[in-house]
Amino acid sequence: DFVQLFEPTASLLEKEGKGYITASFGEASGKVPYTTFMAKKSYLEENKETAEAFTRAIYKAQKWVETKQPEEIAKAIQSHFPDTDLAVLSTAIKRYKQQDSYATDPFLNEEEWNKLQEIMKESGELPEFIPYKQLVDSSIAKKVTDHK
């Protein structure tokens, strides 16, 4: 019997002796953008500064996570997981860092976009495939990261 779980639930069940982590969906699937932020084109045009500030904040947090140890990250987020032991959070974060599960910049590349759509299609949740160039605009990510 198998189940797919996100962290820290998987590490918690393992610590409690109720299961074992046998594989990582993140490692098996490669880069998948589990979290994406979308906005209408009109919103981006009318709220450019807000969109840039939001993206800059996301990028700053990504760089922070990239450079910090799991224990420090766990302490910073523990208030969002009040029922989870700090050691379990640290273990989960360490696992995600070892698997390169955390994005290190705000870009959504075409391969990741297509993989996300393939997963949605296989689950019956995607009525129509949307080409990357039709929907993804990386101009704000480029601006806030000084990416050329």
Going by the DSSP 8-state scheme, the letter that residue 18 receives in this structure is S
**Residue-range domain boundaries for the chain:** 9-145
Q: What's the CA dihedral at 135, 37, 102, 108 to 10 degrees? A: 10
Torsion sign over Cα 146, 93, 8, 113: positive
Distance CA 29, CA 70 (A): 23
Distance CA 54, CA 48 (A): 10
Distance CA 144, CA 139 (A): 9
Please state the pTM of the whole predicted model.
Answer: 0.81
For residue 20, which phi and psi values (nearest 5 degrees)?
-135, 140
Residues 6+ apart with CB under 8 A from 105: 59, 62, 141, 145, 147
Please report the pLDDT score of residue 31 as a whole number.
75
Average pLDDT for consecutive 10-residue bins of the chain (148 residues)? Answer: 83 88 75 83 95 96 97 97 93 91 92 90 93 93 83
